[in-house]
Chains A and B, each alone.
Chain A
Amino acid sequence: MKLVHVLSEALRAMLANPLRTMLTMLGIIIGIASVVLMLAVGDGIKAFIDKQLSVLGSNLVIVQADSRKAVGARLRTGTVQTITLDDAEAINRLPSVKGAAPMLTTYSQISYGNDNTNTQVQGTTPTSFVIRNLRLAKGIGLSEVDVASATRVAVLGKKVAEQLFYKNDPIGQTIRIDNQSFQVIGVLDNEGQSFDSGDIGEVVMVPISTARVTLVRTATPRSVQYVVVQSKTTEGLNDMVADIKDLMRDRHRIRADDVDDFRVVNFGEFAKTGEAIATGLSIALGFIGAVSLVVGGIGIMNIMLVSVTERTREIGIRMAIGARPSDVLWQFLIEAVAICVVSGIIGVALSAGVASAVSSTGKFEMMIGLKAVVIAVVFSCVVGVFFGFYPARRASKLQPVECLRYE
């Protein structure tokens, strides 16, 4: 018997009782939709994390002063400024380090014309732009010259620029930071959560030297609040952290049995946590999908058994005119698989609808890839074969004489 014929027989059988077929399909539809959504959620979370990482910059650590006892009272981390520009330069020279950017930050009142806002100002070096993947929407970034001569220039975060300048071009305009004039030379393109401040769109970046003389009071002329460091490779991250620790202990003359006066915060760990959450969610959804597929499969088996009983006479007639047991087996097996595959396709369509609805809220991007569709179709075939085999085999084992006598 040709496949085309078996398929058209399956379709005919499915259409013979449309309501029953639909109800049977429902379990598989839900199962397949959950499986596809699981994959979409997993992919979406991965993409979300990647996007966040691209804002953060990958393979980054922060070196900051640790809390220190001052006259017996332990102070907040970073309050005591023991890290210096020289430390940053020394870290930058480590072979495992791609770049190290010293930072001085403060919250300041920023104004332009009648408008003003209060946000974080970061004093830093050009290295910062490189290691944190900062891109410019307009203008230019900070340069070594700006740092060397403490020029009063500023690069605005996207949202700050929108707030102060609306649709006007901010480049070349003069803004006031804590009542001191700065010329805007660039606007950042990045958005999203940054690890050391709030939204990267809401910061203003100025040369670290300028920040020191105008905005941030420091303990010594070379103190910095923290240093952002990027390793050359992902694999080398942990080695780099060890290198930094050794270097810093050496530079700060910490004796072997004394504790560090600095901390190294590793942001790779955050990404790992995010991925673990994504995996957990995927497993949960996958489990729901699997349970639904099994329940749906049992429904199919049940209906196929009913169908075999109902069509006993038909089976008898077919056998009398020459259907071999294998022909009958195939007929019922293909019918079960066809129900599952059609359900799978509907399930994919349903999950695509859900995904686009979720994505249209703009909060979370869900993507249904070809991989998900292929997996869904393969899964539904497997369910069809697994749960369709027993009823089909039962049909093929029927005796023609008894079938023809069946009313």
Chain B
Amino acid sequence: MNVSIASSRAEGALVEITDVRKSYFSNRVETPVLHGINLHMQRGDFMAVMGQSGSGKSTLMNILGCLDTPTSGTYRLAGVDVEKQSRAELATLRNRTIGFVFQSFNLLKRMTILDNVALPLIYAGVSRKASRDRAQTQLDKVGLGELANRQPNQLSGGQQQRVAIARALVADPPLILADEPTGNLDTRTSNDIMALLNELNRERGQSIILVTHEPDIAAHAKRLVRLKDGLVLYDGPATEGLRQLKTDDSIATIAEAAL
């Protein structure tokens, strides 16, 4: 499979998006959402994607996560041309390359925490025993090893998100894709989760893409990408980007007040 060839080329960019456009069609009416996005990301980077609703943030996120394919343009993830993959190949690519962290945690009900974390390995064809061992190790790392046999609904939101992070990490994917990971959490728990992601990036060199609409959360990233109306508005260091964002917002507030 070409995924294994790709992972051997560790020096290449992890994410290469070139002139990606995406349109949705309903009743043959074309609604363009992404108007040509270019984005490159090296391994070990920590990138935040910001944008207001309607900016194409979610669409870009789905394309980045190989959950959806672009209408045109190319997306190379870890050296693999995503748009050339079949549905089954995309599933395998997601399984090996991306660890998802969702806003609503998305743990499977009626399944223990341990089995939830082990699931990506099961789909990768790892034996049940080995999957559980590795899942336990991963749970220990996020500090929830003792809750392995609980069900998701017996855990707090912050704990559930830690479990989701453990699940994202268990198959050791090169990329973590976190979609509003703190959206359902209070400020203190959000900071804990962000601290955990930061630690992963710093100590393990884990590549992370973080989608958020909160500047405080985006501030944890090294790099910021701002989207507006389906185009990249800013791509650069997070600190500079957030300063610009603040200015833009105050201008908008003044403009609003003026009206």
Residues of A within 8 A of B (CB): 1-2, 4-5, 12, 16, 313-314, 317-327, 399-401, 404
Cα distance A1–B171 in the bound complex, in angstroms: 15
Q: Judging by beta carbons under 8 Å apart, are A322 and B67 in contact? A: no
Which residue on chain A has the smallest CB distance to residue B125?
A: A1
Q: 28 pairs across A/B with beta carbons < 8 Å?
A: A1-B123, A2-B128, A5-B122, A12-B110, A12-B111, A317-B106, A317-B108, A318-B119, A318-B123, A320-B106, A321-B94, A321-B119, A321-B167, A322-B94, A322-B95, A322-B96, A322-B171, A323-B91, A323-B123, A324-B87, A324-B92, A324-B123, A326-B88, A327-B123, A399-B68, A401-B67, A401-B68, A404-B102
- Knowing that A322-B94, A324-B123 are A-B contacts, what are 6 other residue pairs whose CB atoms are under 8 Å apart, sorted by A's residue number? A317-B106, A320-B106, A321-B120, A324-B88, A325-B87, A404-B102
Neighbouring B residues of A399 by C-beta, 8 Å: 68
Q: A5-B122, A400-B67, A401-B62 are in contact. Are A321 and B87 (CB under 8 A)?
A: no
B contact residues, total (Cβ < 8 Å): 28
Q: Check B127 for interface membership: any CB of A closer than 8 A.
A: yes
Q: Judging by beta carbons under 8 Å apart, are A2 and B122 in contact? A: yes
Q: Check B158 for interface membership: any CB of A closer than 8 A.
A: no
Q: For residues 86 through 133 of chain B, which have their beta carbon under 8 Å from a beta carbon of chain A? A: 87-88, 91-92, 94-96, 100, 102, 106, 108-111, 119-120, 122-125, 127-128
Looking at the assembled complex, report how far the CB atom of A271 sits from the nearest CB atom of chain B, in whole angstroms: 58
Q: Judging by beta carbons under 8 Å apart, are B91 and A322 in contact? A: yes
Q: A321-B167, A401-B62, A404-B67 are in contact. Are A314 and B92 (CB under 8 A)?
A: no
Neighbouring A residues of B119 by C-beta, 8 Å: 318, 321
The prevalent SS among residues of A at the interface is helix
State which of B88, B109, B123 has its C-beta within 8 Å of the C-beta of A321.
Answer: B123
Neighbouring A residues of B91 by C-beta, 8 Å: 319, 322-325, 327
Neighbouring B residues of A314 by C-beta, 8 Å: 108-109
Which residue on chain A has the smallest CB distance to residue B96?
A: A322
Q: Check B241 for interface membership: any CB of A closer than 8 A.
A: no
Neighbouring A residues of B100 by C-beta, 8 Å: 320-321
Neighbouring A residues of B181 by C-beta, 8 Å: none
8 smallest beta-carbon distances between A and B, as pairs? A322-B95, A322-B123, A324-B91, A324-B88, A400-B67, A317-B106, A321-B120, A401-B67
Neighbouring B residues of A325 by C-beta, 8 Å: 87-88, 91
Residues of B within 8 A of A (CB): 62, 65, 67-68, 87-88, 91-92, 94-96, 100, 102, 106, 108-111, 119-120, 122-125, 127-128, 167, 171
Neighbouring B residues of A319 by C-beta, 8 Å: 67, 91, 94
Cα distance A313–B67 in the bound complex, in angstroms: 14
Neighbouring B residues of A5 by C-beta, 8 Å: 122, 128
Cα distance A1–B121 in the bound complex, in angstroms: 9
Cα distance A16–B151 in the bound complex, in angstroms: 13
Looking at the assembled complex, report how far the CB atom of B209 sits from the nearest CB atom of chain A, in whole angstroms: 15
Cα distance A313–B95 in the bound complex, in angstroms: 18
Looking at the assembled complex, report how far the CB atom of B125 sits from the nearest CB atom of chain A, in whole angstroms: 7
Cα distance A58–B88 in the bound complex, in angstroms: 66
Cα distance A4–B68 in the bound complex, in angstroms: 31
Neighbouring B residues of A404 by C-beta, 8 Å: 67, 102, 106
Neighbouring B residues of A1 by C-beta, 8 Å: 122-123, 125
State which of B87, B94, B110, B124 has its C-beta within 8 Å of the C-beta of A320.
Answer: B94
Which residue on chain B has the smallest CB distance to residue A319?
A: B91
Neighbouring B residues of A324 by C-beta, 8 Å: 87-88, 91-92, 123
Cα distance A119–B65 in the bound complex, in angstroms: 94
Cα distance A80–B171 in the bound complex, in angstroms: 99
Cα distance A327–B119 in the bound complex, in angstroms: 12
Looking at the assembled complex, report how far the CB atom of A16 sits from the nearest CB atom of chain B, in whole angstroms: 5
Q: Judging by beta carbons under 8 Å apart, are A16 and B87 in contact? A: no
Looking at the assembled complex, report how far the CB atom of B247 sits from the nearest CB atom of chain A, in whole angstroms: 34
Neighbouring B residues of A317 by C-beta, 8 Å: 106, 108
Looking at the assembled complex, report how far the CB atom of B3 sits from the nearest CB atom of chain A, in whole angstroms: 12
Cα distance A314–B171 in the bound complex, in angstroms: 20
Cα distance A325–B91 in the bound complex, in angstroms: 8
Neighbouring B residues of A401 by C-beta, 8 Å: 62, 67-68
Neighbouring B residues of A12 by C-beta, 8 Å: 110-111
Which residue on chain A has the smallest CB distance to residue B95?
A: A322
Cα distance A313–B107 in the bound complex, in angstroms: 10
Q: Judging by beta carbons under 8 Å apart, are B128 and A4 in contact? A: yes
Neighbouring A residues of B111 by C-beta, 8 Å: 12
Neighbouring B residues of A400 by C-beta, 8 Å: 67
Q: Judging by beta carbons under 8 Å apart, are A16 and B123 in contact? A: no
Q: Judging by beta carbons under 8 Å apart, are B120 and A16 in contact? A: no
Q: Judging by beta carbons under 8 Å apart, are B127 and A2 in contact? A: yes
Which residue on chain B has the smallest CB distance to residue A397?
A: B87
Neighbouring A residues of B68 by C-beta, 8 Å: 399, 401
Looking at the assembled complex, report how far the CB atom of B89 sits from the nearest CB atom of chain A, in whole angstroms: 9
Cα distance A320–B93 in the bound complex, in angstroms: 10
Looking at the assembled complex, report how far the CB atom of A203 sits from the nearest CB atom of chain B, in whole angstroms: 71
Neighbouring B residues of A327 by C-beta, 8 Å: 91, 123
Neighbouring A residues of B94 by C-beta, 8 Å: 319-322
Which residue on chain A has the smallest CB distance to residue B168?
A: A321
Neighbouring A residues of B96 by C-beta, 8 Å: 322
